[in-house]
Structure formats: structure tokens, C-alpha cells
Amino acid sequence: MLNRQSNHWLNFVGGEWVDGKTAIEVRDPSTDQVFATIASADVDDVENAVSAARQCVREGRLTRQRPAERAELMYRIGAEIRELAEEGALLASRENGKSINDARDEFIESARYFEYYGGMADKIEGKSIPLGEDYIDFTYYEPQGISVQIVPWNFPVSICARSLAPALAAGNAVIVKSPELSPLAITLLATACERAGLPKGALSILAGPGRATGAALVAHKETNQIVFTGSVPTGQAIMRSAAENSVPCVMELGGKSAAVAFADADMDQLVCSVKGGIFFNAGQVCSAMSRLLVQREIYDEVVGRVAELAQGLSIGGGKDNPDLTPVVSMQQRDGILDMCRQAEEDGARLVTGGHAVEGLPGAFVQPTVFADVTPQMRLFREEVFGPVIAITPFDTEEEAYELANGTDYGLVAGVFTQDISRAMRASQALDAGQVFVNEWFAGGIETPFGGNRLSGYGREKGQEALYSYVRTKNVAIRVSR
């Protein structure tokens, strides 16, 4: 079936593409012009999605398949996503502002999630527990049931696939709430699932306002699991709602992650990491290198090199694949610029950037470098979610770790040094779910990812993530004699 009528997109509810009573306008951030609409799901759509998911779970449409068959299904979904990557890249770039190359990568990464977790579908093995010869005891894993997944706008396709693939591989039915600002490209995951033969009810993807559609889904009594990626306040509201029904959550929240550059760091390696770390996806990455802590001996040189890097970046709309693309909306741009103004008022040194890009009509923010940022400043502690890096000097190793750990977040951290012992000490001292050594964003879909403290709990990616989507059942058998 068609997933849209001309430029109006539909929701995927229990295996059918359905329209809504109202619609959401979707804008191109590089021009701020509306170019499409999508049906907005209401409470009736939520009920229909839940009832379709419940039916799928009750009838065991996924769990009755042999796991090896489910693995085949996952591989087929991966292949269909690869087929849709070009079409999807254009759409994702247009609705989100990101470059077409990065948007295509999102689709390829999404296909990889299905292939990776497809490979695990028939390896979710339980244990046998020795209780002496009068008992046989074993555990096995069963799916949680209905998994509700709430997705943010920065990587809507790959973040969706990151949770959807392990959930389906483990036999769950999934209801996804797509983000208001980028709700289109994510629907192609439903198209891929439909083409690959995913049973009806195993997936619904609903667009709609977080506070209505999202809130109705997470408060629904038949939900068995909530996976949320997004901001801290929304995550906290969802955790409160989940507590009412005692529903387990995976929470992937924000970050204010620091790279620690010691005096012996390889300067080119560091600068290259800064480029990807804070300017990739216009800095709208939860695990962005939003802070850079630099040992005093190389401080001036690093500030100079990072400023030179920022000034040399090409800026433009996603279709031209520049180094720096617009942020997702004019509202997001204005929030970032407000934070830059406040950082200056607080006494941070604006080295370059800090303003909108003149001559470009959309949501463009100049690549921005602040130096001499101190822990008292808001810029040191709060997520900007834009192309803005805060640089702070340090003298000793202890001071570096104290500064790095000096926010309420703990998502990722990085260390740049040639000294392997210091790198190991850093990995122990840095309070974060993942520590990068000498390359920001080292790792991949195979490496567990998630935060400590306000950055959330639970892990996505890697083999470990699969176990969030199952629950353990123990069977204890008395042997009669």
C-alpha cells in the first residue's frame, strides 16, 4: 500500500497506512518552507495500534516463528532498507537539514541493525541451574510484549532502527512515536518491514505531538516496555508515567560530554576528532564533543587550531553535502544563539562564530568556538545541541577528570594522549557510559551505548542491548522418584 498521498504522508497503524483528522506541517530547515504534511495520530490511532500489537503478541505472530525464521525476516528487512536508502536520504536530508551523505549513512546503519540483531535472533539462550538431582531448573528469555519507542528528531531513522531491530528480533510488537520535526523518512522503515513480510500488528509508526500522542502511548496500561531517546525533562515525565504501570524503561537522554586533551596528544588526530565531534549533524548529537578540556601547555595552540577549523568549514543546505548544515528549526537556531549570547555575558571568550549565518534564509548557526569557559557558566553545564564547542584549560590530570565529571550528565567522554597508562586511568576516572581514546565516536553499532546519571540508564547497541527487550523466566521442576 502507499505510504502517502502526494505530499501528504500517512501513519502506519497495525499494518495499514491511515490518514488522520489533523496534520503536522514539515519544514525544510534550509529554507524554513513547509514542503510536506503528515497525518497526526490521535487517541483512536493509539488504541488501534495497541490493539493490533496486542493481537500480534497474543497470537504469537512473531514468537511462533522459529527464531531462525525470524532471523531471515530481519535480514529481508535490512535488504529492503538498503533498497530504500537513496529515496530515504533525500527525504531525511530535506526534513532534517542534514547532508544527503549523512542521511544515506543513517539508512545503511539502520540496515546494519537489522542484520546484526537478525544474527542474534536464534542465539537468545537461557541457562540451566544446578539444584541437585531432585530438580531440573532452567531459564529462558521471553519477549517483553508491547514495546513503545519514542524517537527524537536528530537521527530519527537510525535511532528508531537501533531499538526496533532488537525488539523485533526478540519477538516483541513495537509501537513507535516519530518526532514532530522529522516524521517522514522514518516511515520508510515501515515500508521496508511491510515489503519484507513482517506480520500485521508487529509494528506501528505514529506521528503526533509528544504531549498528546506520545503521552497517551507511554501511559497506556497495556504497554510492557518504554524505550525513550530525547531530552531529560521529557524522559523524566515518561519515567513518572511508566512508574504508574510499573513498566521498565530504557532511557537515552542528553549529554554534555568532554574530551580531555593532554599535552602529548596527537594534534592532527585531535583536530580531526573535533570536526566530527561537534560539527557533524550541526552538533545535534547527544554524544557530541560539546566540551574540550585542554592541558595548559597546548591550550593556545589548540584554541587556534580549532578556530581555524571552524572558520574553514563549508556551510550550506544538506543537498550540497557541506561540512556544516542547518540546525533542525528556526526555534532551535534561536535557542542556540541565546545560549551563545549568555555565554558571552557570563565571561566566556567568543573566539569565532556565535551568530546566525548571514545571507542564508534557513536555520543556520555559524560554527562557534568559546574559550576560557569555567564550570560556573551555563555553557559548561548545559546541552546546547548545536555547533558550539566550549574549551577550558586545565593543569593536572586530577583537575581534568574533576572538570570532565563536573556536570549532571555522564553519556560519553574522550581522552587524547599517547600514554597508554594515562588513557587507562582516564577510562576508569571518567564517569560516562563510553570512553573514546584518541578518536571521538570510535565504536559502532556493536558497542554498547548509554549514559550514567542524568544521561539515563540502560544500554542500546551491541549484544548487551538485546537483553533489554526480553525478560527472564525461570522454570523449577521437582523430579518424582
Determine, following the binding rule CB under 6 A, whether residue 218 of this chain makes contact with ligand NAD.
yes
Q: Of 93 and 96, which has the nearer Cβ to ligand NAD?
A: 96
Candidates 99-107, 246-254, 292-300, 302-310: pick the segment binding ligand NAD (CB under 6 A).
Answer: 246-254
Among 31, 139, 231, 374, binds ligand NAD (CB under 6 A): 231
Determine, following the binding rule CB under 6 A, whether residue 215 of this chain makes contact with ligand NAD.
yes
For residues 404 and 260, give the distance between their C-alpha atoms in angstroms, rounded to a whole number: 7
Q: Which strands, in side-by-side order, build the sheet including 146-150? A: 16-18, 11-13, 203-206, 173-177, 146-150, 225-229, 249-252, 456-457
Determine, following the binding rule CB under 6 A, whether residue 286 of this chain makes contact with ligand NAD.
yes
Residue 182 gets the label, from left (phi > 0), alpha (psi -120 to 50) or beta, of beta
Determine, following the binding rule CB under 6 A, whether residue 385 of this chain makes contact with ligand NAD.
yes
Map the footprint of ligand NAD across residues 125-164, applying CB under 6 A. Answer: 150-154, 159
Q: How many residues bind ligand NAD (CB under 6 A)?
A: 28
Does residue 192 contact residue 77 with C-beta atoms inside 8 Å? yes
For residues 103 and 317, give the distance between their C-alpha atoms in angstroms, rounded to a whole number: 13
| Catalytic center residues | 252, 286
Nearest to 148 by CA among 102, 55, 211, 213: 213
Among 81, 238, 278, 413, binds ligand NAD (CB under 6 A): 238
How near is the Cβ of 250 to ligand NAD at its closest, in Å? 10
For residues 317 and 311, give the distance between their C-alpha atoms in angstroms, rounded to a whole number: 17
For residues 10 and 206, give the distance between their C-alpha atoms in angstroms, rounded to a whole number: 9
Cα dist. 475→131, 136, 140, 147, 447 in Å? 12, 8, 8, 24, 32
For residues 223 and 364, give the distance between their C-alpha atoms in angstroms, rounded to a whole number: 39
How near is the Cβ of 153 to ligand NAD at its closest, in Å? 5
Instruction: Please tell me the number of Cα atoms within 13 Å of 375 on its side-chain side.
Output: 11
How near is the Cβ of 232 to ligand NAD at its closest, in Å? 7
How near is the Cβ of 349 to ligand NAD at its closest, in Å? 26
How near is the Cβ of 386 to ligand NAD at its closest, in Å? 11
Candidates 45-53, 175-183, 262-270, 465-473: pick the segment binding ligand NAD (CB under 6 A).
Answer: 175-183
Residue ranges in contact with ligand NAD by CB under 6 A: 150-154, 159, 177, 179-180, 210-211, 214-215, 218, 229-231, 234, 237-238, 252-255, 286, 383, 385, 411
